[in-house]
Structure 1
């Protein structure tokens, strides 16, 4: 009798919200395959595979001449500097916008939330393309693009962290007559600081990748070298730039992971 009562639930139930959600996702995926003109058979044909093989072979051996490796190292440093400075500016802006986005009342809070949504809804590549008109070619436009987009992301994450902070220390300061800014600086911010640092390091990892791509529109760094040599079909030099991107991202990911582990101890 007990075994009959404990039968496993059916795979699909009309009262199960998760089942309907999964079914909707499956329908969306199937509709996407049907609506897109995907030439999967041509992609997997022997002719396409042979062309891809010839293309990959052109990358080897990479150009490891000292002069070019020096240029790639300078581009890697420029990419790293763009990501670090852009993230730092975004942290400062995010901290400033987190307080009104979390504790302001009425229209001020809604307006700040709307601003954060607008900043992060525009990708870094689009920000860089628009800023090139005023800032010109080079890393300055890329740094500003990273800072603007990331400030919207971090501002929203910081605001959520501030809202979820324990209210006890802040309430104790308010009973002593402390204002909102002092409560934020001396009670709320110290509690959420490890979480803010974790968010910052994670976004720095993302900005390394984004800074490497911003060179597509002329924002400097490894991306600009990549587009230049790929446009000239210099695949040996392109391979060297790609290797530098992989090494840079791996080093930053490892350092960021170690720092996050240290912060959460």
Structure 2
């Protein structure tokens, strides 16, 4: 008998790995937890397809009153276009005016560029606060401060977008190559010089792409802010619903749809150019 055959006969069977059994148990626990969570959520939210089916007559009546849309120029279309322009400007200013604060918090809230641990933790806490408070809550606060109108919507978007965009930018900064920064630091460059000449040049395309993404989101958010008195097309839609002018509401929704498509196409075109 050969030596290889003897080794084969005397080799002990390898016991099954315990890691596989533990992984299966963990997956089972997660699946059971998700099922239980969905059962509780369905009960607590009173989710019912039967109720939706029973309300089909009301939905049909609503749609019959909305069609055809009201296309009268002076009473519906022109005010809708003007209000949509305000919605666009709210989203634009809410995005661009938050750039300085977002950039500052991103630099201070990144491990690679923060001056010290205290500044890092404080910056992360500020960004977390601005992200945690919804923009519509900020809008309600600023409406009580500056009154009804688009200015409250701009302030609300600046606050919320500062937290979101600062967080996204800080994560991009943390992924940069530390080599150029170390070279500048060794050469005696100040922290501001390192950030301006080594950090931002590496992430400029990524930061601009994220900025365009947030502009897209903020335009949509400014529509919702109008529902609480922050101006724009959302305010007109809310007024049309309250006055049961569903045909005018449908026209306003169509105008909003066109605006969203145009903004999407613009953002996608710019991002493609950045990727070239």
Q: Same fold (TM over 0.5)?
A: yes
| Superposition deviation, residue 23 in structure 1 | 3.8
Structure 1: 5+ residue runs without aligned partners? 1-11
**Is 1:231 paired with 2:242?**
yes
Report what 2:229 is aligned to: 218
2:262 is aligned, of 243, 251, 258, to 251
Kindly state the Cα deviation for residue 119 of structure 1 after the two structures are TM-superposed. 0.6
Give 2:39's match in structure 1, choosing from 25, 30, 33: 30
Are residue 63 (structure 1) and residue 74 (structure 2) matched? no
**Structure 2 CA distance for partners of 1:179 and 1:21, relative to 1, 3 Å:** farther
**Counterparts in 2 of 1:13 and 1:22: CA distance versus 1, 3 Å:** farther
Q: Which residue of the other structure, out of 79, 85, 97, is the alignment partner of 1:89?
A: 97
CA distance in structure 2 between the aligned counterparts of 1:173 and 1:137, rounded to whole angstroms: 50
Partner of residue 126 from structure 1, selected from 137, 140, 143: 137
Gaps of 5+ in 2: 1-19
State the superposition RMSD in angstroms.
1.6
C-alpha deviation, 1:192, in angstroms: 0.5
Deviation at residue 49 of structure 1 after TM alignment: 1.1
Alpha-carbon deviations, 1:170-216, whole Å to 9, x = none?
Answer: 11111111111110011100100111111111111111110011111
CA distance in 1, matches of 2:181, 2:31: 42
CA separation in 1, counterparts of 2:157 and 2:263? 17
Aligned residues: 252
Pair 1:94–1:248, CA change in 2 (3 A): same
Residue 186 of structure 1 corresponds to which residue in structure 2? 197
Q: Which stretch shows the higher mean deviation, 93-102 or 23-32?
A: 23-32
Alpha-carbon distance between aligned partners in 2 of 1:42 and 1:134, rounded to the nearest angstrom: 41
Secondary structure of 2:220's match? helix
Task: Give the structure 2 partner of residue 52 of structure 1.
Answer: 59
In the TM superposition, what whole-angstrom CA distance separates every residue of 1:85-138 from its partner, at most 9, and x where no partner exists? 110012221111111111232222111100000011111110000001112111
Residue in structure 2 matched with residue 176 of structure 1 by the alignment: 187
Q: Which residue is 1:208 aligned to?
A: 219
Counterpart CA distance in 1 for 2:160 and 2:183 is: 36
8 Å contact kept, 1:13–1:19: no
Candidates 116, 140, 143, aligned match of 2:154? 143
Shift of 1:161: 1.0
How big is the shift at 1:31?
2.3
Per the alignment, do residues 18 and 208 of structure 1 end up closer, same or farther by CA in structure 2, a change over 3 Å counting? Answer: farther
* Matching residue within 184, 198, 206 for 1:195: 206
1:3 aligns with none
Query: What residue number does 2:115 align with?
Result: 104
19-28 or 128-137: bigger deviation: 19-28
